[in-house]
Amino acid sequence: MVYQKNDEDIMDRKKSNELELKEANLERSLIKTIRQRQPQFLGHICRHKSLEHLAVTGKIEGKGSTGFKILKSLNREEQTIIFRLRTGHNRLRKHKYIKLKIGESPICQCGQGSQSAEHILQQTCSNLATFRYLFWPELITLTKKLYGTTRDLTQTAEFAKATGLQI
């Protein structure tokens, strides 16, 4: 009995050693994969850092992290609009033409410049002058329209919806 018991113990120990070894190997291979992917991942983060970091957190140098909370306080549709306008990854003509190779030209229907977020939100798009005046009777900076308070951002999203443009 004693012998058998010891034998079982040895088997158990052997099994647990094998298991440990397997786990260790798995861990090693995971670490290896992570290390291999890290530079790629970091490269991606670095390349997209400025724009996307800004878009997600709303952080501009020296400013707090309230930007993220503000973006989160909007509804889903508004968040999407603001995010697209901030990053420039939107369905306005400039991005569609230059990045997505869709459409005949980046020029806005008004003929006065490339159709970008700045073009429609600020003073250059003559087609939207009335809308802009209705939403912002006074001049407001692009930064405030895209990175301001919840009220500012809601206003921008409402404006974008009112224009009927696909953002």
Within 88-138, where are the H helices?
A: 93-98, 117-121, 129-135
8's tokens: 């079982």
Q: Which CB atom, from 67 or from 94, has the smaller least distance to Zn ion?
A: 94
Q: Which two tokens stand for residue 26?
A: 């798995």
Closer residue to Zn ion, CB minimum distance, 89 or 131: 131
Of the listed pieces 33-41, 66-74, 79-87, 104-112, which binds Zn ion according to CB under 5 A? Answer: 104-112
Give CA 19 to chain center in angstroms.
Answer: 42
* Residue 125 in contact with Zn ion, rule: CB under 5 A: yes
Stretch that binds Zn ion, among 30-38, 53-61, 99-107, 124-132 (CB under 5 A): 124-132
d(Cα 133, Cα 162) in Å, to the nearest integer? 12
CB of 113 to Zn ion, least distance (A): 6
Coil/strand/helix, residue 39: helix
| Range 34-63 burial, b when 16+ CB lie within 10 A, else e | eeeeeeeeeeeeeeeeeebebbebbbeeee
Q: Which of 55, 71, 81, 108 binds Zn ion (CB under 5 A)?
A: 108
Q: Least separation, in Å, of the C-beta of 119 and Zn ion?
A: 5
Q: Residues 56, 110, 114, 150: which binds Zn ion (CB under 5 A)? A: 110
Q: Which stretch binds Zn ion (CB under 5 A): 14-22, 24-32, 102-110, 144-152?
A: 102-110
Footprint of Zn ion (CB under 5 A): 108, 110, 125
